[in-house]
DNA sequence: TGAAATGTTGGGGCG
DNA sequence: ACGCCCCAACATTTC
C-alpha cells in the first residue's frame, strides 16, 4: 500500500493529466494537493482576475475529486515546507507533478526536486501543458527559433495526435489534518467587481470541455473570418482554460484532428486554429530561451526608444476605457467587465497605448496581467512585445493600427462598440467608429478623442526613425 | 495579424 | 477619331 502525492499547479484536470495518471497507476493511495504560494511567483504573482478564476477552478477540481472518492487538499506555502509536512503526515515516498515552464518556477522546482531526492523521495515530472518541450526544439542553426513560421512548420510536422489519458475512475485518498478552506486563501475580491464574470465563464474541467464542444460545433466552421470579428462569437475562448490546464493542447489537437472531415475547407480551418495554438507554444519557447522576456526588449535597439514620459492620467483613461476612441474603449471595458478581450481588439488597444500614446509596453502588460482571466506570462509578454514591435518576428513598429479603419472593417455595424459603450448605442452605424463627426456628437455623454490619431501616428514614426539601424 | 502616400492604368466626358 | 483631363480602382512604396 504505497502512497504518492500529486501536486496540482496549473494542470487542474483529471483527464489527460500525466502526473495524476502515472501516480494512479503506480500507487494505491494518492494525496491530491494544491499549495498556495503566490510569493514564489513574484514579481508575477497572479493578478486579481486570475485569482478569481483560480478559486473557482480549484472548487471545481475538488468537486470532481470528491465524485471519485478523494478531495483536493489545500495548504499554504512555502512549497518546500508544505511538501515536507505532507510527506511526513501521509507517509508518501513519491511526489508527482507536471512541469510549469516559466523560468523562475522551473528553478524553484529544480531546487525542490534536489531536496526531495536527497531524502530518498521519488520525484516524477511530466509535460501536460505544451505540445513540445521548449528545450527540445532547435532551429537549423542550432539555437532557439526566432521566427514563428519555421518554428511552427517543425512543430506541426512532428505533431502526432494521441488519445487522451483517461481520468482515474476512483481515487483512494488518506485523510490528512490541516486542510485549508478554499475561501480562506482570499482569492476572491473583497470589492465585488467580479459579478459579470460568472455569467461569461465556467472555470473548471467541465467548463473547458463545454467551451471546446461549443467551438467545434458552432464557431469552428467560420473561424478564419470570424476570429477577427469582435462582434461575433467566433473565437475558441479556451485561453483561460488552457492557462490553468483545465484542458491541455494535446486534448484539443486530438479532438480537432481525430474526426476532421476530409474536406479542404474544414482541414484549412482546423489548421488555422492549430496555428494559434502554435503561437502559444512559440511564446513559451521564447520565454524559455529568453527568460527576461517579461521585462526586457528582445530587440535591444528599443532600450533607447523615446517612449513618452509615463503619463498616469493617460494610462488611467486607457485602463477605464475613456479614451474617446470607440473600439479602444469597448475593448478596455470588455476586459474590465469580463476579464477577457477579443484578440484583434487586444492588438488595437496595445497599438493605441504604445504608439498613439507612446507609453511603454510594460504598462499595458501589467494592466493585462491584473485584469485578464487568461493572464499568462509567456503569452502576455510575447504579445505585448509583438505589438510594440520590440519582439522577435514581431509586427514592425511602423505598423500602426488605425482604430477607426479597423473598427469599420471588423465591427462594421458597431455591435461590439454598442454593447460595451452604451453611450454610443444610438449613433448611426456610419459614424459609430468616429462619433466626433456625427452631428449630434456634442449631446453624447462620451469624451472627444484624447489624442489626434493622425498627429500621434506621425510623432510615433518620427520617434521610431531615431532607432539605430541594426543591433 | 497596416496605413497612408505615391504611382499606374483605363474608362468616360468633352472639346 | 483624337487628345486631354479627371478620377476611381488597383498596385507599389514607404514608414
The string of pLDDT tens digits covering residues A320-343 is 999 999 999 999 999 999 999 999
> Is there a single domain that holds both residue A353 and residue A421?
yes
Nucleotides of B under 7 A from a protein CB: 1-4
> Is there a single domain that holds both residue A28 and residue A49?
yes
> Is there a single domain that holds both residue A409 and residue A460?
yes
Q: CB of A453 within 8 A of CB of A402?
A: yes
Closest nucleotide (CA of A393 to C1')? B1
List, for residues A145-190, the tens digit of each pLDDT value. Answer: 999 999 999 999 999 999 999 999 999 999 999 999 999 999 999 9
List, for residues A280-291, the tens digit of each pLDDT value. Answer: 999 999 999 999
Closest nucleotide (CA of A400 to C1')? B2
Residues 269-298 of A with CB under 7 A from strand C: none
Instruction: Report the pLDDT value the prediction gives residue A470, as an integer from 0 to 100.
Output: 59
The structural domain count of chain A equals 3
Omega of the bond leading into A460 within 30 degrees of 0 (cis): no
Closest nucleotide (CA of A228 to C1')? B1
Distance A250 CA to C15 C1' (A): 41
Q: Could you check: is the Cβ of residue A345 within 7 Å of any atom of nucleic acid strand B?
A: no
Distance A242 CA to B5 C1' (A): 43
| Share in percent of chain A as helix, strand, coil (round to 5) | 50, 5, 40
> Is there a single domain that holds both residue A152 and residue A283?
yes
Distance A457 CA to B7 C1' (A): 23
> Is there a single domain that holds both residue A266 and residue A360?
no
> Is there a single domain that holds both residue A411 and residue A397?
yes
Closest nucleotide (CA of A405 to C1')? B3
User: How far is residue A433's CA from residue A424's CA, in Å, rounded to a whole number?
Assistant: 9
Strands A72-76 and A94-98: unpaired
- Positions of A annotated as catalytic residues are 276, 279, 307, 343, 361, 384
Q: Could you check: is the Cβ of residue A225 within 7 Å of any atom of nucleic acid strand C?
A: no
> Is there a single domain that holds both residue A234 and residue A360?
no
Distance A399 CA to C10 C1' (A): 22
List, for residues A349-393, the tens digit of each pLDDT value. Answer: 999 999 999 999 999 999 999 999 999 999 999 999 999 999 999
Q: Could you check: is the Cβ of residue A226 within 7 Å of any atom of nucleic acid strand B?
A: no
Is A295 inside any structural domain?
no
List, for residues A73-127, the tens digit of each pLDDT value. Answer: 999 999 999 999 999 999 999 999 999 999 999 999 999 999 999 999 999 999 9
Is A157 inside any structural domain?
yes
Distance A408 CA to B12 C1' (A): 31
Distance A344 CA to B8 C1' (A): 33
CB count, 10 Å around CB of A12? 27
Q: Could you check: is the Cβ of residue A397 within 7 Å of any atom of nucleic acid strand C?
A: no
Closest nucleotide (CA of A462 to C1')? C15
User: How far is residue A328's CA from residue A456's CA, in Å, rounded to a whole number?
Assistant: 15
Q: Could you check: is the Cβ of residue A344 within 7 Å of any atom of nucleic acid strand B?
A: yes
Q: CB of A238 within 8 A of CB of A215?
A: yes
Is A423 inside any structural domain?
yes
> Is there a single domain that holds both residue A124 and residue A134?
no
CA dihedral (A342, A344, A347, A350) in degrees, to 10, reads -40
> Is there a single domain that holds both residue A450 and residue A319?
yes
> Is there a single domain that holds both residue A318 and residue A440?
yes
List, for residues A291-319, the tens digit of each pLDDT value. Answer: 999 999 999 999 999 999 999 999 999 99
Query: What's the domain range around A423?
Result: 300-465
Q: In 3D, which of A471, A261, A469, A279 has the Cα closest to residue A380?
A: A279
Q: In 3D, which of A351, A228, A422 has the Cα closest to residue A435?
A: A422
Q: What CATH number has the domain bearing residue A19?
A: 3.40.50.620
User: How far is residue A416's CA from residue A422's CA, in Å, rounded to a whole number?
Assistant: 10
Instruction: Report the pLDDT value the prediction gives residue A471, as an integer from 0 to 100.
Output: 41
Is A201 inside any structural domain?
no
**pLDDT at residue A5 is higher than 90:** yes
Read off the pTM: 0.97
Is A175 inside any structural domain?
no
End-to-end CA distance of chain A: 61
User: How far is residue A390's CA from residue A392's CA, in Å, rounded to a whole number?
Assistant: 7
Q: A75 - beta bridge partners?
A: A35
Please give the backbone phi and psi of residue A73, each rounded to the nearest 5 degrees, phi first: -90, 120
* DSSP 8-state class, residue A424: G
Q: Domain boundary at A105, A129, A153, which? A: A129
Closest nucleotide (CA of A397 to C1')? C15
Q: What CATH number has the domain bearing residue A272?
A: 1.25.40.80
Distance A398 CA to C8 C1' (A): 28
> Is there a single domain that holds both residue A57 and residue A134?
no
Q: Domain boundary at A235, A260, A289, which? A: A289
In the predicted model, what is the mean pLDDT of chain A? 96
Q: What CATH number has the domain bearing residue A368?
A: 1.10.579.10
Q: Domain boundary at A112, A129, A146, which? A: A129
Nucleotides of C under 7 A from a protein CB: 15
Strands A72-76 and A29-36: parallel
Q: Could you check: is the Cβ of residue A401 within 7 Å of any atom of nucleic acid strand B?
A: yes
> Is there a single domain that holds both residue A123 and residue A159?
no
Amino acid at each position: 500500500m504505497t502512497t504518492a502525492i500529486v501536486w496540482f499547479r496549473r494542470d487542474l484536470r483529471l483527464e489527460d493529466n500525466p502526473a495524476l495518471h502515472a501516480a494512479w497507476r503506480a500507487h494505491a493511495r494518492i494525496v491530491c494537493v494544491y499549495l498556495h504560494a503566490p510569493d514564489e511567483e513574484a514579481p508575477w504573482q497572479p493578478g486579481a482576475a486570475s485569482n478569481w478564476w483560480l478559486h473557482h477552478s480549484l472548487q471545481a477540481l475538488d468537486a470532481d475529486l470528491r465524485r471519485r472518492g478523494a478531495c483536493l487538499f489545500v495548504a499554504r506555502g512555502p512549497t518546500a515546507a508544505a511538501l515536507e509536512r505532507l510527506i511526513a503526515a501521509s507517509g508518501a515516498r513519491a511526489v508527482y507533478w507536471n512541469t510549469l515552464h516559466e523560468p523562475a518556477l522551473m528553478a524553484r522546482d529544480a531546487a525542490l526536486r534536489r531536496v526531495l531526492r536527497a531524502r530518498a523521495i521519488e520525484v516524477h515530472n511530466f509535460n501536460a501543458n505544451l505540445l513540445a518541450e521548449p528545450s527540445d526544439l532547435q532551429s537549423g542553426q542550432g539555437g532557439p527559433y526566432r521566427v514563428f513560421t519555421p518554428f511552427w512548420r517543425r512543430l506541426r510536422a512532428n505533431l502526432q495526435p494521441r488519445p487522451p489519458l483517461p481520468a482515474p475512475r476512483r481515487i483512494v485518498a488518506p485523510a490528512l489534518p490541516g486542510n485549508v478552506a478554499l475561501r480562506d486563501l482570499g482569492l476572491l475580491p473583497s470589492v465585488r467587481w467580479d459579478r459579470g464574470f460568472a455569467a461569461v465563464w465556467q472555470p473548471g474541467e467541465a467548463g473547458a470541455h463545454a467551451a471546446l464542444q461549443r467551438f467545434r460545433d458552432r464557431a469552428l466552421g467560420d473561424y478564419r473570418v470570424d476570429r477577427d470579428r469582435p462582434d461575433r462569437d467566433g473565437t475558441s475562448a479556451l485561453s483561460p482554460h488552457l492557462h490553468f490546464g483545465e484542458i491541455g493542447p494535446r486534448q484539443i489537437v486530438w479532438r480537432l484532428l481525430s474526426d476532421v472531415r476530409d474536406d479542404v475547407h474544414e482541414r484549412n480551418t482546423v489548421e488555422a486554429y492549430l496555428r494559434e495554438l502554435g503561437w502559444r507554444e512559440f511564446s513559451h519557447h521564447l520565454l524559455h530561451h529568453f527568460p527576461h522576456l517579461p521585462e526586457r526588449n528582445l530587440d535591444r535597439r528599443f532600450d533607447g526608444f523615446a517612449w513618452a514620459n509615463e503619463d498616469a492620467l493617460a494610462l488611467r483613461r486607457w485602463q477605464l476605457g475613456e479614451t474617446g476612441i470607440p473600439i479602444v474603449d469597448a475593448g478596455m471595458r470588455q476586459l474590465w467587465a469580463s476579464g477577457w478581450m477579443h484578440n484583434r481588439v487586444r492588438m488595437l488597444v496595445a497599438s493605441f497605448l504604445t504608439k498613439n500614446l507612446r507609453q511603454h509596453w510594460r504598462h499595458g502588460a501589467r494592466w493585462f496581467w491584473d485584469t485578464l482571466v487568461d493572464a499568462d506570462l509567456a503569452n502576455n509578454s510575447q504579445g505585448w512585445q509583438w505589438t510594440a514591435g520590440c519582439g522577435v518576428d514581431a509586427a514592425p513598429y511602423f505598423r500602426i493600427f488605425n482604430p477607426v479603419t479597423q473598427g469599420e472593417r471588423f465591427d462594421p455595424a458597431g455591435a461590439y462598440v454598442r454593447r460595451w459603450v452604451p453611450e454610443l448605442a444610438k449613433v448611426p452605424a456610419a459614424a459609430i467608429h468616429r462619433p466626433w463627426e456625427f452631428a449630434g456628437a456634442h449631446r453624447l455623454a462620451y469624451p472627444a478623442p484624447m489624442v489626434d490619431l493622425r498627429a500621434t501616428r506621425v510623432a510615433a514614426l518620427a520617434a521610431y526613425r531615431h532607432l539605430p539601424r541594426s543591433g
